[in-house]
Amino acid sequence: MEKGAPEASPPCARCGKPAQLQCPKCAELKLPRENAAFCTLDCFRVAWSSHKSVHPKPGALASQQSPEGWKYYVRKGRGRALELPRFDWTGPLRPYPISKMRVVPDEIEKPDWALDGIPKIEPDSDLQKRVEIKTPELIERMREICRIAREVLDPAARVIKPGITTDEIDRVVHEETIARGGYPSPLNYHFFPRSCCTSVNEVICHGIPDARVDDVQELRASGLLQGGGGLTDEQAFRFLTSFQGLPFGKCYNRVMEQIEIYKENKPMGTKLYAFLYNNKKTIAAVFGVFVALFGIIGTLVSVKKAI
């Protein structure tokens, strides 16, 4: 183990405590310290079986050094860079390098955004302004496509376990979609570089799969087949935890602790808003009574003046 810089104290990748040690292999490969820091040698030994999965394999390491290897996506997906882009970050969340875009076979029908990342039919479609009444044939085809999308998501959920990266999940989604003759619709849609969305920890939605090890919160897979689309969305981490008795990840627990602290010390404005929201019907009724009462008083005053 190597001593980290004294000014930086990232949390331990296993237990979340302040850490000053770093995995020597990660330091050699110049991997981010986010998942390479450990508080003690004991923590490092216990975590090694799962932690070693973050080290690129020899073939992947070679591609990482090439122009097509692991890089950061910049300019909303239009470019790639070796260095983390500069940005006025508002929290600890950072982007992570991702691998090159996966290939779709030529024989599979592709949408208009597959080549240049820009959808052309969708923005000008009449369906942006009106609701289409689906025919029985189209409804049946939608059911079939959604069933296939569900079949794609199931094997992706089965590979989720400690040490598995979201990039590996994306590989499964991509290969399962291709095997069924479909195109993974998120791929290159407005330059989105992956075949599925994986939201981890504090990411709200549309997270880009990468090589970091984290708590998978949500899987979203969709596919295009014969001109139709199917979308599935599952809270994968919560689902697996509740059914397999797995403990929640350290980031999830840390977020929950912060939420409880906020509940106890939240600003007065937030409490007032919560009170108004929870009692909106009662407040509206009381307000209506007062309006009617003021109306009656105003009428009586007007009548008295007239007399």
> Furthest-apart CA pair in the chain: how many Å?
100
Within a domain: residue 169? yes
Same domain (yes/no): 248, 293: no
Within a domain: residue 96? no
**Residue labelled with tokens 């105003």:** 298
Which residues, in sequence order, are CB contacts of 212 under 8 Å at separation 6+?
A: 32, 34, 35, 54, 96, 165, 166
Judge contact between 223 and 145, C-beta under 8 A: yes
Same domain (yes/no): 219, 292: no
Same domain (yes/no): 207, 286: no
pLDDT of residue 215: 54
Same domain (yes/no): 71, 129: no
Residue range of the domain that includes 60: 2-81
Judge contact between 212 and 96, C-beta under 8 A: yes
Same domain (yes/no): 147, 254: yes
Same domain (yes/no): 294, 248: no
Rounded Cα–Cα distance for residues 260 and 140 (Å): 46
Same domain (yes/no): 172, 241: yes
Rounded Cα–Cα distance for residues 10 and 14 (Å): 12
Distances (CA, A) of 283 to 280, 291, 295: 5, 12, 18
Same domain (yes/no): 33, 10: yes
Within a domain: residue 232? yes
Task: Give the residues across from 198 on adjacent strands.
Answer: 219
Rounded Cα–Cα distance for residues 106 and 127 (Å): 29
Task: Give the residues across from 129 on adjacent strands.
Answer: none
0.75 surpassed by pTM: no
Within a domain: residue 192? yes
pLDDT of residue 175: 92
The structural domain count of the chain equals 3
Which residues, in sequence order, are CB contacts of 176 under 8 Å at separation 6+?
A: 151, 152, 155, 156
What tens-digit pLDDT sequence spans the chain (307 residues)? 544 444 456 788 888 888 888 888 887 766 777 778 888 888 888 888 777 777 765 544 444 444 456 777 777 777 777 777 777 777 777 788 888 889 999 898 888 888 888 888 887 777 778 888 888 988 888 888 888 888 888 888 888 776 778 888 889 989 998 998 888 888 988 888 888 888 776 677 778 888 876 555 455 555 554 444 444 545 444 433 333 344 455 555 666 666 676 666 666 666 677 777 777 777 777 777 777 777 777 777 676 666 6
